[in-house]
Chain A
Amino acid sequence: MGSSSLLDVIGSLLTGGLLLLIALRLNMSTIETRQTYGYNYKNQTNLTTLVMMIEDDFARIAYCKNPANLAVNPSAQAIRVCDSTRFRYRTDIGDNGSVDSIEYSIGSTPDLTETENPGDYYLIKRVWNNGVLSQQNWNLGVTKFRFDYFRSGGSTTRPMSFPIVSTVPGNTPQNVGLMRLSIILESPEKPKEQFLGDTSQYQVFWKQVRVTSKNLAFR
């Protein structure tokens, strides 16, 4: 084998190796990008579906097919619990005239231990339908689920202070006219390898909406 052939072989090996490295890098990059986009897409669909469901549910706060069942003053009876991470209200599930309740909440500490993300919670929806309690725990990657409440006819920028309970005059659930819900969803894992040492690099998606119900007050 002459020196020219040897150079050809070495050159081919180098070129082949280079191409292989490029192909491997491309493959890795594609996988990472797909994972990042996948988390982003999942967060977006989770969040929009969740907000649609909440808006649909909250539009029926204080609704009852038979209003007499909700006592004389609907707003006084409709909202039962107003906390920063828990909200329970009365409504009529199934439009059958019975007074039912729905509660949305998250735990006091992050309780979704199945994921790598240390800050995510189960989103809990409890439903009391005709006196029967059912509970659903959703793994949507919720890391923030905070309610702020605004006084009916009052400031729309300064929320009511906590606690909002019936024993604090002027700061009771029946004073609530508008709610602001801030939601943050994060990916269960870090989408890119280089983020492994960085605690902040989860895929984050947030949304803040204001919701009210026609039945809360007659204006």
Chain B
Amino acid sequence: MLTVGALVLLGATILSVNSNTLQNGVILRQTEIGVYAIALATSYIQTAAELNFDEKTVLTPIPALASDGSKLVPIDTIKLRKLLTPYDSLGRNGVGEIANVDSTFDDFDDFNGFAKTDTAKGEDVFTTLATVYYVDTLGVIAPASQTPTFFKRMDIRTFGTVGRGVYEGGASQGLDTIKLSYIFSYYR
């Protein structure tokens, strides 16, 4: 009887140790996948940040100053804003730009509506979605603006097929989604 009791206790201890070890492994794996997702999202942000600010500034920059006789004076910002793409036309609007093929994009807001799937070999399949819109810089949180401004914000979401939440069903509940934002300004 004593032997049986001891075996049961030993079995329970081994199961408990195994369970803890596996849980540690799962969490490490989840953070590893999270690192890949963040790398992917930041890479798209950096790629977009290297492009032109707007389709209208690809060939002709919009100067902030104009010559007034012998001196340079600031141009009215309201007039300058009207030169930019209207907020409801943000997205692919140039010749040769292909949906979801970022290598064909030439300006920042071409990423509006972007959706792409990437495979990190041996890791997971990641889906990236992006939206781009004008923002006002008056508020701390930079609210969306329906009139063009010289600031555009990209919200990017990346998620994989493997849930990173420690809870069951993390992926199906969207708990594994990496969300990053970036504000791109024209004048620096």
Which of A33, A209, A214 contacts B42, CB < 8 Å? A209
Check A152–B21 contact: CB distance below 8 A: no
User: Taking A15-B3, A44-B32, A205-B32 as contacts, is the C-beta distance between A212 and B24 under 8 angstroms?
Assistant: no
Q: Are B28 and A40 in contact (CB under 8 A)?
A: yes
- Tell me whether chain B's interface is mostly helix, strand or loop, or mixed: helix
B47 to A: closest C-beta gap in Å: 5
Given contacts A156-B103, A212-B46, A218-B61, contact A22 B39 (CB under 8 A): no
Q: Using A211-B46, A219-B53 as known contacts, list a sample of 4 further A-B pairs with CB atoms less than 8 Å apart, ordered by residue number in A.
A: A22-B10, A22-B14, A178-B47, A205-B32
Q: How far is the CA of A210 from the CA of B39 in the complex (A)?
A: 8
**Which residue of the partner chain B has the closest CB to A155?**
B103
B164 to chain A, nearest CB (A): 13
CB distance from A47 to the nearest CB of B (A): 7
Residue from the list B6, B14, B57 in contact with A219, Cβ < 8 A: B57
Query: Known contacts A19-B10, A209-B42, A218-B61; is A48 also within 8 Å of B35 by CB?
Result: yes
Chain A's nearest CB lies how many Å from the CB of B183? 12
B46–A210 touching, CB < 8 Å? yes
Using a Cβ–Cβ cut-off of 8 Å, how many residues does chain A contribute to the interface with B? 35
**B17 and A26 within 8 A (CB):** yes
Q: Which of A138-163 contact B (CB under 8 A)?
A: 150, 152-153, 155-157
Given the complex of chains A and B, what is the CA–CA distance between A30 and B28 in angstroms?
16
Cα distance, A33 to B61, chains bound together (Å):
58
Contact residues, B27-69 vs A (CB, 8 A):
28, 31-32, 35-36, 39, 42-43, 46-47, 49-53, 57, 61
Does B102 have its Cβ within 8 Å of any Cβ on chain A?
A: yes
Please determine whether B188 and A215 come into contact, CB atoms closer than 8 angstroms: yes
On chain B, the residues within 8 Å of A211 by CB distance are: 46
A-B contact pairs, 13 of them (CB 8 A): A15-B3, A19-B10, A26-B14, A33-B24, A44-B35, A155-B103, A156-B103, A177-B50, A178-B46, A180-B43, A207-B39, A210-B42, A210-B47
In whole Å, how far is A114's beta carbon from the nearest beta carbon of chain B?
26
- If the complex has contacts A22-B10, A33-B25, are A156 and B47 also in contact, measured as CB distance less than 8 A? yes
Q: Do B43 and A209 touch (CB < 8 A)? A: yes
Q: Which of B14, B35, B106 has the most CB of A within 10 A?
A: B35
Given contacts A40-B28, A157-B103, A215-B188, contact A30 B46 (CB under 8 A): no
Find chain B residues with CB under 8 A from A215 CB. 188
Fill in one digit per residue for A167-184: 1 if any B CB lies within 8 Å of its CB, else 0. 000000000011010000
Q: Tell yes or no: A195 within 8 A of B by CB.
A: no
B102 nearest in chain A by CB position: A156
- Give B26 Cβ to nearest chain A Cβ, in Å: 11
CB distance from B157 to the nearest CB of A (A): 18
Interface centre among A157, A210, A214 (most CB of B within 10 A): A210
Chain B residues 64-106 with CB under 8 Å of chain A are: 102-103, 106
**Which chain A positions have C-beta within 8 A of B24?**
33, 37
Bound Cα distance from A218 to B36, whole angstroms: 30
- Considering the complex of A and B, which 4 residue pairs feature the smallest CB-CB distances, nearest first? A210-B43, A210-B46, A178-B50, A212-B50
